[in-house]
Amino acid sequence: MMKKQRLVVRTVILLLLLSAVGYTIYSSIFAEKTDIKVGATAPDFVLTDLNGKTHRLSDYRGKGVFLNFWGTWCKPCEKEMPYINRQYAVYKKQGVEVLAVNVGEPKLSVQKFVDRFGLTFPVVIDREDQVMNAYEINPLPTTFLIDKDGKIKQIITGTMTEEMVKQYMESIKP
pLDDT tens-digit profile, the chain (174 residues): 788 888 877 887 777 777 656 665 555 544 444 578 899 999 999 999 999 999 999 999 999 999 999 999 999 999 999 999 999 999 999 999 999 999 989 999 999 999 999 999 999 999 988 899 899 998 999 999 999 999 999 999 999 999 999 999 999 999
Q: Is the pTM of this model over 0.85?
A: no
Helices 75-91 and 162-171 cross at an angle (nearest 10°) of 50
DSSP state of 173: -
Contact assessment for residue 22 and residue 16, using Cβ atoms and an 8 Å cutoff: no
What is the CB-side half-sphere exposure of residue 17 using CA atoms within 13 A? 6
At 147, which amino acid appears?
A: D
At 106, which amino acid appears?
A: P
| Residue 84, SS3 per DSSP | helix
